[in-house]
Amino acid sequence: MDNLNLFEVKIEEDLQGTRLDVVLSLVLEEASRSYLQKLIEAGKVQINGVPCASKKWKVKKGDEILLEIPEPEALDVMPEDIPLTIVYEDEDLLVVNKPKGMVVHPGAGNTSGTLVNAILFHCDHLSSINGVIRPGIVHRIDKDTSGLLMVAKNDIAHRSLAEQLANHSITRAYRAIVYHNFTEDEGTVNAPIGRDPKNRLKMAVTKQNGREAVTHYKVLERFGNFTYVEARLETGRTHQIRVHMAYIKHPLLGDAVYGPHKQVLGAETQMLHAKVLGFKHPRTNEYMEFDSDLPEEFQKILNKLGGTYHE
């Protein structure tokens, strides 16, 4: 569709019987459930061409859902006293360890409680390159992905870090638990990622509108039906690791959007953690690298699987 505010979803078998608001929250992760419920109640959702105002409606396989997202309103982003785990800080930048469940910046239905709200309370100045909604944000990770992010305090630092991202010189190593065993110990997925032509709320490997995307992976430990892997980003497309792992038939444990909808091993969301972040300091040009511990939930699932790998 030409209208960028219209999104189509076709229901597959694994979502059969799921509430409408739950389905929309799975595929539009940055929006809050309450915001999506308001859109449903306001008649912004159609099922098979018929408006549906019930958030509790149970979808069926083959249903075609059309969601209209209203034009965004101007947001006044306010500082909020939210605890931050700061790994490093100086006059130019911050490195923070974002918890699972926190949105990076304000967006549809999420005007507060984001990482940006927390950083604005902590810092009296941030770079202005990305505007009032995303001040200081050089790159982002998904709401339900935990781990390290760099934040620029001034425009000079922002430009330097953004240039390093564009040149693929920043180290970004993730830890993930994925389905199935691998025949190889390591490999590379080089496949373009863009908006899924069949479901515009998702990303997909596609040549139609895809941009270059390269992910390097390495097996850390095998558990038969699951594997603990390291994934290193060469590029940084939306949902890149999640899409690439699903593309090679190893979707992330807990990822109901790109993998099995059924929860197993207690994983409510994707088991993905941004563990290592390295870059050249924008002022000194010195290479700096930071490491973060796995979240408690992630470690518990590794323990359930009998994991013995030591970082």
A 10 A CB-CB count for 238 gives 15
Q: How far apart are CA 76 and CA 132, in angstroms?
A: 8
Name the catalytic one among 63, 92, 142, 255. Answer: 142
- Residue 215 is encoded by which pair of tokens? 């992910």
Tell me the DSSP string of 49-69: TEE---TTPBP-TT-EEEEEP
293 is catalytic: no
Q: Which residues contact 225 (CB under 8 A, 6 or more apart)?
A: 179, 180, 181
From the list 14, 10, 142, 17, the residue with the least C-alpha distance to 67 is 10
- Residue 105 is encoded by which pair of tokens? 């910046």
Q: How far apart are CA 290 and CA 275, in angstroms?
A: 8
- Name the pairing type of β-strands 272-280 and 146-152: parallel
Helices marked H in the chain — which ranges? 20-27, 33-41, 115-122, 155-166, 240-247, 296-304
**What is the identity of the amino acid at 258?**
Y
* Helices (H) then strands (E): counts for the chain: 6, 15
Cα four-point dihedral sign 176, 296, 108, 139: negative
Catalytic residue ranges: 142
